[in-house]
Amino acid sequence: MTTMFNKQAETASVDELRDTQFKRLMPVLQQAIKSPAYARSFKAAGLSPQDVRSLDDVAKLPLMDKEDFRKSYPLDLCCVDRRQLVEMHMSSGSTGTPVVMPYTMPDLQQWAQCMARCLAMAGALPGDAIQITPSFGLFNGGFGFYHGARMLGMFVIPTGAGNTTRQIRLARDFGTRVLTGVVSYGIRVMEVLEEEKAALPDLKIGIFGAETFSDSLKRKFIDGLGIEVFDIYGMTETGGVGTLGQDCPAHNGTHVWEDHYYVELLDAATHKPVRDGELGELAVTSLTREALPVIRFRTGDLTRIVSRERCACGRTHVRIAPIMGRVDDMLIVKGVNFFPKQVEQALMAIPGVRPNYQIIIEEVDGIRDVRINVEADAGVTGYIVEKNLKEALGFSPKGDIFAPGQLPRQEGKAKRVFYKDASGLH
């Protein structure tokens, strides 16, 4: 059994978890209708909180998605008086109006508790040095790790993003044991360590998130950094990084904190429930958020239930598979449907291929094609890459091999998919 932050909650029986979920659901629904946006939604559906008499009745409630957040900008979904708010974070808004998440003091405590569970589950201990590389700003990543690390009693090194050479020096000087960041920044750390022929002997744990994370790429991290790697899960709408959960040392699915969140797997087209083991869109209802609890929030993330049984780590909370992709991420080329994560999985399985690549969708005269550019060591040929991609995707994409460091990098989350038309690459 691994280290647990709250053993009683993390090992509760299924019956205890269901009882806790229902007891917490009712006050959340009563809280939600204090929000103008939720009140309108419930009225349009002809429902009231009293119509929910069991967890099965959650399916009666209206679904919501990112568009509901955008339409309610800035605080129309908020369920408390403005004077109770103590913090806010929001998404980048790169695709439209940003998604805003406000917090009361109890909300920050809830976030910290979920994060502390994730950190402890990864093997972090009080007093360990944790280096927090996500930015401290409107994006929730840096603050989420900070709140959790403080609650666990860790030694915080709040570097934020960028200046990788300095990051490595600080990690070496202060004995960083736990490194956190977005997946693509972990790749950058590996690159600079290789360039500088440096090592981080104290580093044992890497916790990465915010981007799809294939098993092959995890293996690159394990081999390149010599650490155990964990995939943390959470989003702005659920309260931030780590709120939903993380994988444990068994690495057989992501534990979702069911005493804080009720989850459903739905068919992405019909919104009907799918069977355990089938791919579906994750919908989330928060049970312990105060300022803005989401109710049947369609995350857009595609996953499946791995198991509802007690895990080898001792935890009883449901396990879901790593996110395959998003509902709107699916690409269709030459009649074949695939997700960017499948491309990454195939590429990272090739010895010598580096973790930086581009998927370029080209459209000429209405005909769509795909080009996949990759960075690779000398000796990796286009034929090798094409062969592996054909086996994984079912067709042969075009593409080129680039020397390490030649493809562009982005600050924060890496952009992997590009579209090319007459106006250029975008």
pTM: 0.83
Residue 102 DSSP symbol: E
Q: What is the pLDDT of residue 412?
A: 63
Determine contact, residues 404/191, Cβ cutoff 8 Å: yes
Q: What is the pLDDT of residue 380?
A: 87
Q: What is the pLDDT of residue 153?
A: 97
Which residue among 326, 345, 360 closes a domain? Answer: 326
Which residues neighbour 50 within 8 Å (Cβ) at sequence distance 6 or greater? none
Report which residue type is found at 141. Answer: G
Residue 76 DSSP symbol: T
Both 317 and 357 in one domain: the answer is no
40-54 pLDDT tens trace? 999 998 988 889 999
Cα–Cα distance for residue pair 198/189, rounded to 1 Å:
11
Query: Is the confidence at residue 94, as pLDDT, over 60?
Result: no
What CATH number has the domain bearing residue 344? Answer: 3.30.300.30
Which residue among 326, 352, 381 closes a domain? Answer: 326
Determine contact, residues 157/132, Cβ cutoff 8 Å: yes
Q: Of the given ranges (96-110, 246-260, 360-374), which has the lowest mean pLDDT?
A: 360-374
Environment class of 55 (CB within 10 Å of its CB; exposed 0-12, middle 13-18, buried 19+): middle
159-212 pLDDT tens trace? 988 888 999 999 999 999 999 998 878 888 888 888 888 889 999 999 998 777
Q: Mean per-residue pLDDT for 25-39?
A: 92
Instruction: Indicate the average pLDDT of the chain.
Output: 89
Report which residue type is found at 121. Answer: M
Both 230 and 84 in one domain: the answer is yes
Quickly list DSSP for 105-158. HHHHHHHHHHHHHHHHHTT--TT-EEEE-S-SSSSSHHHHHHHHHHHHT-EEE-
Q: What is the pLDDT of residue 119?
A: 98
Q: What is the pLDDT of residue 344?
A: 84
Q: Of the given ranges (17-21, 81-85, 379-383), which has the lowest mean pLDDT?
A: 379-383
Which residue among 326, 361, 381 closes a domain? Answer: 326
Both 321 and 350 in one domain: the answer is no
Residue 398 DSSP symbol: B
More confident call, 13 vs 379? 13
**Nearest residue to 80 via CA among 104, 48, 101, 111:** 104
Could you tell me the sign of the dihedral formed by the alpha carbons of 29, 30, 31, 32, in that order? positive
Helical packing angle, 105-121 and 141-152, nearest 10°: 80
Tally of structural domains, the chain: 2
Which residues neighbour 372 within 8 Å (Cβ) at sequence distance 6 or greater? 343, 347, 357, 358, 359, 360, 385, 389, 397, 398, 399
Both 335 and 321 in one domain: the answer is no
Query: Is the confidence at residue 288, as pLDDT, over 70?
Result: yes
Which residues neighbour 85 within 8 Å (Cβ) at sequence distance 6 or greater? 78, 102, 103, 104, 291
Both 53 and 97 in one domain: the answer is yes
Listed in sequence order, the DSSP H helices in 289-381 are 340-348
Query: Is the confidence at residue 426, as pLDDT, over 80?
Result: no
Both 356 and 289 in one domain: the answer is no
Both 384 and 420 in one domain: the answer is yes
Query: Is the confidence at residue 424, as pLDDT, over 80?
Result: no
More confident call, 152 vs 327? 152
Structure tokens at 364: 């000429």
Q: Of the given ranges (65-69, 186-190, 214-218, 341-345), which has the lowest mean pLDDT?
A: 214-218
Structure tokens at 242: 């780590």
Both 124 and 16 in one domain: the answer is yes
Q: Which residue in the block uniquely carries the two structure tokens 């090319």?
A: 420
Cα–Cα distance for residue pair 25/31, rounded to 1 Å:
10
Tell me if residue 32 falls in helix, strand or coil: helix
Query: Percent of the chain scored above 70 by pLDDT?
Result: 95
Q: What are phi and psi of 111, to 5 degrees?
A: -60, -45
Query: Is the confidence at residue 265, as pLDDT, over 70?
Result: yes
Quickly list DSSP for 156-174. EE---S--HHHHHHHHHHH
More confident call, 218 vs 297? 297
Both 228 and 153 in one domain: the answer is yes
Q: What is the pLDDT of residue 423?
A: 62
Query: Is the confidence at residue 305, as pLDDT, over 60?
Result: yes
Cα–Cα distance for residue pair 299/240, rounded to 1 Å:
13
Structure tokens at 212: 């799809």
Determine contact, residues 38/77, Cβ cutoff 8 Å: yes
What CATH number has the domain bearing residue 222? Answer: 3.40.50.12780
More confident call, 196 vs 318? 318
Which residues neighbour 390 within 8 Å (Cβ) at sequence distance 6 or greater? 396
Quick one: how far is CA 191 from the chain centroid?
A: 23
Q: What is the pLDDT of residue 367?
A: 65
Q: What is the pLDDT of residue 243?
A: 97
Q: Mean per-residue pLDDT for 235-241?
A: 94
Helical packing angle, 183-196 and 164-174, nearest 10°: 80
Structure tokens at 169: 């020096």
Both 252 and 347 in one domain: the answer is no
Q: What is the pLDDT of residue 1?
A: 47
Name the strand (E) or helix (H) holding 20.
helix 14-32
**Domain containing 109: what range?**
1-326
Determine contact, residues 45/192, Cβ cutoff 8 Å: no
Both 169 and 277 in one domain: the answer is yes
Q: What is the pLDDT of residue 95?
A: 54
Determine contact, residues 293/308, Cβ cutoff 8 Å: no
Both 252 and 379 in one domain: the answer is no
340-395 pLDDT tens trace? 878 888 888 888 888 888 888 887 666 677 888 998 888 888 888 888 888 888 77
Q: What is the pLDDT of residue 327?
A: 81
